[in-house]
C-alpha cells in the first residue's frame, strides 16, 4: 500500500513539474486591445516565397521527380496527383509581382534561388539562369525592395540526390561550392542570406513521415540528415564570411518552431510523446546553435552525439518560421505512438493545425535564449474562404509586438506568402497567398483579409 502511495506521489510530482515547466499559454482575447500596433522605427515588413513553389519549370530537382512518381501502393505523392508545373510563372512575372509587393507597402522580399536551375549538372553553372537572378535582384533593389535570399528551400538538384544528398556529411562540400559561387556573384547587392530553410521539416518529412522526398521512414537517418543540415549551415556561414562582402553580409539560418502540447495534461504518456517530439524537432537545433552540441538518445530509435563549439558563433540572425502548435495524444500502436487531436474551441486553419497566436510569443521567448537578433521569416495562414486571415494577421502580429515591447530584438516580419502557390504535398489546394492566383490565366488578386496586413504596416509607421 505504501509503495502504491509512493508511486502515486512520484506521478503527481512529475506531472506537476511538466505542467509548471511547460505551460500552454492562453490569452483572454476579449480583454486585449490589439488595435493600433506601433512598432520600433527600424522594424521592417516583407513577404516570402520559395523558388519551387512559385517560379515554374523546376524540372531538375528531387521534387519534380517526387511529383512524377507513385508510392508503394501506386498512388500519387501529391494530393490529387497535382504537379508544380509552371506554378505562378514567377520566373517570367517577377516584374508584375514586384508591383504586388509595392502595393502591400512592404520593403523586404524573402525568396529562394533554385540550385537545380543554377547548377543543373554537377559543377556546371548555367550562365543564363545566373543572369536571370541578377536581373531579378537588381529589379527588386531598383524598386526599393530589399531581398533576403534563401540558398536551400527544400529542393535538391537530382545529381546531388543521386550522390546521397544530405544523408552524407561528405556531400556538404557540393552545397558549399554552390553557395560560394552565387555569393561571389550577388553579394555586392544582396546583404541578407538565409542558408537552410527548416532543417527539421526537411528531415522529419523526408525521412521520418515519408511525406516529402525521398519518402524514407527511418528516425535515425532523419536525425543524421537534420544534423548534416545544421553542419551545412555552419560551414556555409564560415565560408561566406571569409569571402569578399562577407563581413558586411548578414547570414542566418531559418528554423520552424512548433510546440508539442499534451492533449491530456495529466497523462504522463502524452507528456513523454511531447517531450520526445520536442527534443528531435526543436531542441536539437536550439542546443546546436546555443551550445554547439547535439545529444539525442532515444533507445531503439535515435542515438546521435555531435559537438562543434564553433557553431555557436556561426549565425548572424535566427530566422523563425512559426505557424502553430499541436496536441499529442499517446496511443498504443505498433507503428505510431501518438496522434494529433484538436480541442473543440480552437479555430482550425485549412492546414491540420489551429490558429494559435500565443504560440508565436512562446516561440520568440524560446528563440531569444540563443541570443541572436530574430527575424520572423515566415508566418501565415492557409485560408481558402478568407474568413480567418484578418484575425490571424492581427493576432499573430500583436503577439510578436508583445515580445518586442518586453525587450526582445525582433527586427522584421515576413508574411507567408505573397501569392497562392504550390504547397508541397498539398499541391495547390492550400491558399496561403495575400494575393489569390488564378492558375488558368495567372491573374493575381488581393484578398480582402490581406488588407489587414496593409493596414498594420501603415499603422506601424
Determine contact, residues 109/48, Cβ cutoff 8 Å: yes
Q: What is the DSSP letter of 366?
A: H
- C-beta of 380: minimal distance to ligand BGC in Å? 7
- C-beta of 305: minimal distance to ligand BGC in Å? 28
Determine contact, residues 51/411, Cβ cutoff 8 Å: no
Determine contact, residues 263/329, Cβ cutoff 8 Å: yes
List the beta bridge partners of residue 383: none
CA dist., res. 272 & res. 350, Å (int): 28
CA dist., res. 199 & res. 78, Å (int): 21
Residue among 270 and 426 whose Cβ is closer to ligand BGC:
426
- C-beta of 376: minimal distance to ligand BGC in Å? 12
H/E run at residue 146: strand 146-152
Q: Which of residues 194-213 bind ligand BGC (CB under 6 A)?
A: 197-198, 201
- C-beta of 423: minimal distance to ligand BGC in Å? 5
DSSP 232-280: HHHHHHHHHHHSTTSTT-EEEEEEEE--EEESSTT-HHHHHHHHHHHII
C-alpha cell at 260: 508539442
Q: How many residues bind ligand BGC (CB under 6 A)?
A: 11
Q: How far is CA 223 from the centre of its chain?
A: 17
Residue 452 near ligand BGC by CB under 6 A: no
- C-beta of 198: minimal distance to ligand BGC in Å? 5
Q: What is the DSSP letter of 348?
A: B
- C-beta of 11: minimal distance to ligand BGC in Å? 37
Residue 285 near ligand BGC by CB under 6 A: no
- C-beta of 122: minimal distance to ligand BGC in Å? 25
Helices vs strands, H then E, count in the chain: 15, 15
Residue among 352 and 406 whose Cβ is closer to ligand BGC:
352
- C-beta of 416: minimal distance to ligand BGC in Å? 6
- C-beta of 174: minimal distance to ligand BGC in Å? 22
Residue with cell 521527380: 65
CA dist., res. 301 & res. 280, Å (int): 11
Residue 414 near ligand BGC by CB under 6 A: no
Q: Which of residues 43-72 bind ligand BGC (CB under 6 A)?
A: 50, 53
φ, ψ for residue 401 (rounded to 5)?
-65, -35
Residue 322 near ligand BGC by CB under 6 A: no
Residue 321 near ligand BGC by CB under 6 A: yes
Residue among 256 and 403 whose Cβ is closer to ligand BGC:
256
Residue with cell 474562404: 385
Residue among 54 and 364 whose Cβ is closer to ligand BGC:
54
- 127-142 vs 90-104: helix crossing angle, rounded to 10: 10
Total residues belonging to the chain: 461
- C-beta of 432: minimal distance to ligand BGC in Å? 6
Residue among 130 and 222 whose Cβ is closer to ligand BGC:
222
CA dist., res. 68 & res. 60, Å (int): 12
Q: How far is CA 163 from CA 67, 158, 159, 268, 369, in A?
A: 20, 9, 7, 43, 37
Binding residue for ligand BGC (CB under 6 A) from 55, 235, 423, 452? 423
Residue among 255 and 390 whose Cβ is closer to ligand BGC:
255
- C-beta of 313: minimal distance to ligand BGC in Å? 25
C-alpha cell at 181: 559561387
Binding residue for ligand BGC (CB under 6 A) from 378, 383, 420, 452? 378
Residue among 167 and 198 whose Cβ is closer to ligand BGC:
198
Residue among 114 and 378 whose Cβ is closer to ligand BGC:
378
Residue among 130 and 201 whose Cβ is closer to ligand BGC:
201
Determine contact, residues 397/439, Cβ cutoff 8 Å: no
Residue 256 near ligand BGC by CB under 6 A: yes
Determine contact, residues 227/294, Cβ cutoff 8 Å: yes
- C-beta of 350: minimal distance to ligand BGC in Å? 10
CB neighbours of 185 closer than 8 A, spacing ≥ 6? 130, 134
Residue among 178 and 424 whose Cβ is closer to ligand BGC:
424
Q: Which of residues 104-133 bind ligand BGC (CB under 6 A)?
A: none
Binding residue for ligand BGC (CB under 6 A) from 63, 318, 338, 416? 416
φ, ψ for residue 339 (rounded to 5)?
-130, 160
Residue among 175 and 212 whose Cβ is closer to ligand BGC:
212
Strands 435-438 and 443-446: antiparallel
φ, ψ for residue 4 (rounded to 5)?
-60, -50
Segment interacting with ligand BGC (CB under 6 A) among 133-141, 156-164, 193-201, 305-313: 193-201
Residue numbers at the binding site for ligand BGC (CB under 6 A) = 50, 53, 197-198, 201, 256, 321, 378, 416, 423, 432
Amino acid at each position: 500500500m505504501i509503495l502504491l502511495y509512493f508511486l502515486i506521489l512520484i506521478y503527481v510530482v512529475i506531472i506537476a513539474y511538466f505542467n509548471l515547466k511547460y505551460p500552454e499559454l492562453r490569452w483572454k482575447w476579449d480583454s486585449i486591445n490589439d488595435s493600433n500596433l506601433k512598432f520600433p522605427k527600424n522594424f521592417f515588413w516583407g513577404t516570402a516565397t520559395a523558388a519551387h513553389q512559385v517560379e515554374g519549370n523546376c524540372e531538375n530537382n528531387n521534387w519534380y521527380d517526387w511529383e512524377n512518381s507513385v508510392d508503394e501502393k501506386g498512388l500519387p505523392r501529391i494530393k490529387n496527383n497535382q504537379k508544380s508545373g509552371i506554378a505562378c510563372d514567377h520566373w517570367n512575372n517577377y516584374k508584375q509581382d514586384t508591383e504586388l509587393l509595392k502595393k502591400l507597402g512592404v520593403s523586404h522580399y524573402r525568396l529562394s534561388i533554385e540550385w537545380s536551375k543554377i547548377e543543373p549538372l554537377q559543377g556546371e553553372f548555367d550562365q543564363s539562369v545566373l543572369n536571370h537572378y541578377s536581373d531579378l535582384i537588381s529589379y527588386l533593389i531598383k524598386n526599393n525592395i530589399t531581398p533576403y535570399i534563401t540558398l536551400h528551400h527544400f529542393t535538391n538538384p537530382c545529381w546531388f540526390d543521386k550522390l546521397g544528398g544530405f544523408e552524407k556529411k561528405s556531400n556538404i562540400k557540393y552545397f558549399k561550392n554552390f553557395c560560394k559561387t552565387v555569393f561571389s556573384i550577388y553579394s555586392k547587392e544582396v546583404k541578407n542570406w538565409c542558408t537552410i530553410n527548416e532543417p527539421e521539416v526537411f528531415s522529419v518529412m523526408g525521412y521520418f513521415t515519408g511525406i516529402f522526398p525521398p519518402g524514407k521512414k527511418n528516425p535515425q537517418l532523419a536525425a543524421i540528415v537534420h544534423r548534416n543540415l545544421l553542419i551545412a549551415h555552419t560551414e556555409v556561414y564560415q565560408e561566406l564570411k571569409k569571402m569578399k562582402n562577407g563581413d558586411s553580409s548578414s547570414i542566418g539560418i531559418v528554423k520552424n518552431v512548433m510546440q508539442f502540447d499534451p492533449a491530456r495534461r495529466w497523462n504522463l504518456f502524452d507528456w513523454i510523446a511531447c517531450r520526445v517530439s520536442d527534443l528531435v524537432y526543436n531542441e536539437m537545433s536550439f542546443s546546436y546553435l546555443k551550445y554547439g552540441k547535439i545529444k539525442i538518445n532515444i533507445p531503439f530509435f535515435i542515438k546521435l552525439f555531435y559537438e562543434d563549439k564553433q557553431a555557436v558563433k556561426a549565425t548572424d540572425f535566427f530566422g523563425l518560421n512559426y505557424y502553430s502548435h499541436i496536441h499529442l495524444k499517446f496511443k498504443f500502436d505498433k507503428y505510431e505512438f501518438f496522434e494529433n487531436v484538436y480541442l473543440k474551441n480552437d479555430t482550425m486553419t485549412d492546414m491540420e493545425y489551429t490558429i494559435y497566436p500565443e504560440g508565436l510569443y512562446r516561440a520568440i521567448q524560446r528563440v531569444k535564449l540563443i541570443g541572436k537578433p530574430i527575424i520572423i521569416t515566415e508566418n501565415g495562414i492557409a485560408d481558402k474562404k478568407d474568413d480567418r486571415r484578418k484575425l490571424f494577421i492581427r493576432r499573430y502580429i500583436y503577439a510578436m509586438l508583445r515580445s518586442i515591447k518586453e525587450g526582445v530584438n525582433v527586427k522584421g516580419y515576413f508574411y507567408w506568402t505573397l501569392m497562392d502557390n504550390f504547397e508541397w504535398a498539398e499541391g495547390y489546394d492550400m491558399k496561403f497567398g495575400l494575393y489569390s492566383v488564378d492558375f488558368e490565366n495567372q491573374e493575381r488578386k488581393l484578398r480582402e483579409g490581406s488588407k489587414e496586413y496593409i493596414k498594420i504596416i501603415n499603422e506601424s509607421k
